[in-house]
Copies of this chain bind each other. A is one copy, B any other.
Amino acid sequence: MRATLVDRRNHHLFSALLYQVATAQLSPANIAAPIRHITRDQKNLTVLLGDVSRIHLDRRTIVLADGAELDYDYLIVAAGATDSYFGHDEWRPLAPGLKSLEDALTIRRRLLLAFEQAERESDPAARRDLLTFIVVGGGPTGVELAGAIGEIAHHTLARDFDHIDSRDATIVLLEGLPRILPMFDEKLAIRAVKDLERLGVTVRTGSRVTAIDAEGVNIGADRISARTVFWAAGVAASPVTRTLGDDVALDRSGRVTVERELCVPGYPEVFVVGAAATIMTPSGIPLPGVAPVAIQTGRWAAENIGRRLRGEAYVPFRYHDRGSMATIGRNRAIADIRGVRFGGFLAWLAWAGVHIFNLIGFRNRFLVAAQWLFHYVTYYRSARLITGERDEGDRG
């Protein structure tokens, strides 16, 4: 048996910590590992850096952007998710999301530039708009991003400017639903709101964004002036998964609703896993697009192929729910581990342990742990760099 891994990136990304790159706490290399290095001991695996532009289910072929074609006997599609702007793709440059290292560095640049430009702004209204940060979306990513921005404004930068007090920054977390963190128990969500407020974040629920422009955000008839807006509100399947739509039905977000064995209806040799798939539980509720689901479905699909190769039958996927966690700032988190719900410092320790453990590479684990320790003691953020070309969307 030979396997080929095609990825348009040369690195595996631990996206659960992307918000820490975006908020200057970690460097990109701390949360990414070269795919070739991870897989170098797997002798029957070929790694290709390539952008898959098309999957032909009937011809059992994938086509790369440079025209190369690869045939397959079995295919696992693990193409993940991209940001969805709910039909408003014009918001993308105005409110970048957080799905790649490039996204994280764009957010970092805009965040740090906004404080720098506020320092140089003499008009009080303009200065206030420069010091207003809006995060759209109250899921774990939005909560973690808003909390980290609050910590930067209230601690990291607190002594660094002459003309502004970074603690005057307004940080608003907008959520369209009646409450944030809907996947968590309501009591934990309330605790998260309190933790966010302690970091200077205003949480506005039931607030659906209806327009974004260069000067702010509309919520129906309401308006918030702000120069910096980040997007953590919606996800959709990535473009390559959507190309499956010619052959199989996709849901509203472009995901493939897979069989319980994780294969595609009518194409038992093709599996879709992780955030590219809608995976129904026996109770009829789809699994969330989170890392544990991606890891477990990926492994299960590979095991099902192994079963078939040994002449056995596919086995329906069973999800092993190990719980959910979200972190708010430097030493607060909420955790729900099989019904055991807790928050505060203990939850943060649990969160830190799980995330360190799941990083790939002893080296990254060591460096991330060392940097968290430094940060914990000093609030210092190592990666406070404004780098990269300023783009058209930079308004800070």
Which residues of A are interface residues toward B (Cβ below 8 A)?
9-11, 27-30, 32, 34, 36-37, 40, 46-50, 68, 101-102, 105, 112-113, 116-117, 119-120, 157, 159-162, 363-364, 366-367, 370-371, 374, 380, 382-389
Contact = CB atoms under 8 A, between A and B. Distances in A.
A56 to B, nearest CB: 20
A161 B46 CA distance: 8
A32 B374 CA distance: 17
Given A116-B49, A363-B374, A10 B384 contact: yes
A385 B49 contact: no
A382 B370 contact: no
B159 A34 contact: no
B383 A9 contact: no
A385 B112 contact: no
B387 A36 contact: no
Contacts of A161: 36
Given A9-B386, A34-B385, A49-B113, 17 more contacts: A10-B386, A11-B384, A27-B383, A28-B383, A29-B382, A29-B383, A29-B384, A29-B385, A34-B384, A36-B157, A37-B380, A37-B384, A48-B119, A49-B119, A49-B386, A50-B120, A102-B389
B371 A367 contact: yes
A40 B47 CA distance: 47
Nearest to A10: B386
Nearest to A384: B34
A10 B116 contact: yes
B101 A385 contact: yes
A101 B387 contact: yes
Nearest to A380: B363
Given A30-B27, A363-B374, A120 B48 contact: yes
Contacts of A113: 49
Given A112-B10, A367-B371, A160 B36 contact: yes
A9 B37 CA distance: 34
23 contacts: A10-B116, A10-B385, A27-B27, A27-B30, A28-B383, A29-B382, A29-B383, A30-B382, A34-B160, A34-B384, A36-B157, A36-B160, A46-B162, A48-B119, A49-B113, A49-B117, A49-B119, A49-B120, A101-B385, A102-B387, A364-B382, A366-B370, A367-B370
A46 to B, nearest CB: 5
Nearest to A157: B36
